[in-house]
Amino acid sequence: MDDGGRGNVTKWQTLHVGQDGIPRELEDEIASEYALTVVLNGDEFSTLVCSPTHQEELVYGFLASEGAIRSISQVKKLTIDGDRGYAYVVLDGEPSIGRERSSKRFIGSCCGKGRQFYYHGDMLTARTIMTRMTVTDEQVWSLMAALQESSADFISTGGVHNAALCTPDELLAVRTDIGRHNALDKLYGYSMLRGVRMGDKLIAFSGRLSSEVVLKAAKMGCGLLLSKSAPTDLALKLADELGITCIGFIRGRKLSVYTHRERLIISHRLP
């Protein structure tokens, strides 16, 4: 499994008061926060508030998620100045979708249904998922437990989100960030840079299943989303129409499947 190592944590001297009421001086571990400004073809495109690791993957995934690129071949050069907090991206031509189009509010329709896309870029880049892969409840519980156990940064700080690219049987890559969307964009960049086929993969996620999370999964081409947290109603409406299975509240031996439940195989049935 590619966990990328640690690097999202800073040491900080802290005065801690425990249940016994006695103050103690401790060296605490705090989640690192970093600002990375993406300069696209010479113009500032966006500033990402993120964790400082896997910046190249983050930039690729962010640009793809925003619709600025469709493939890594469009990027002629990517230079990251970590000291100053800049990522300089030179494209082979203009962005696939300009910032003014990707940020414009848009509600479109498809197949007679009113898909409520927030932005014009989402309408152009989110795709319906047709995967036939299935997963068992045992595999779901195992993957979520593995995600939680893999996150040393969360265990030590409690201040980050985690996302993992998985097969039904194992975690392939785990990415961590203070921003839940950044963690997913890092996975997107990881899959782009390595040419990972997404049709037979799942995403395990620590955060809430919002509409933005569902749209990122659709853009990546992933049809199964696992989370220990709750979904929103707009997320489920989009997931239902985009062919994405959403499984939430995965805690211990419990789970709730909300959309496209045909992909979940229940191995334990009541007598």
Among all residues, which ones are annotated catalytic?
111
Establish whether 104 is an annotated binding residue.
no
Which pair of structure tokens corresponds to residue 246?
């959403």
DSSP 261: G
Answer yes or no: is 249 a known binding residue: yes
Burial 212-233 (b: 16+ CB within 10 A, else e): bbbbbbbbbbbbbbbbbbebee
Which of 180, 193, 157 is CA-nearest to residue 73?
A: 193
Q: Which residues contact 116 (CB under 8 A, 6 or more apart)?
A: 107, 211, 234, 237, 238
Q: What angle do CA 32, 71, 87 make, to 5 degrees?
A: 35
Contact yes or no for 73/92 (Cβ under 8 A): yes
The answer to whether 132 is annotated as binding is: no
Pairing status of strand 9-17 against strand 23-31: antiparallel
**Backbone phi and psi for residue 111, each to the nearest 5 degrees, phi listed first:** 55, 35
Q: Is 107 known as a binding-site position?
A: no
CA distances for 177 relative to 66, 67, 95, 234, angstroms = 18, 21, 26, 24
- DSSP-derived 3-state class of residue 217: helix
Is 69 assigned to a binding site? no
252 is in an annotated binding site: yes
Please name the residue that has the structure tokens 């959309």: 259
- Provide the annotated binding site: 249-254
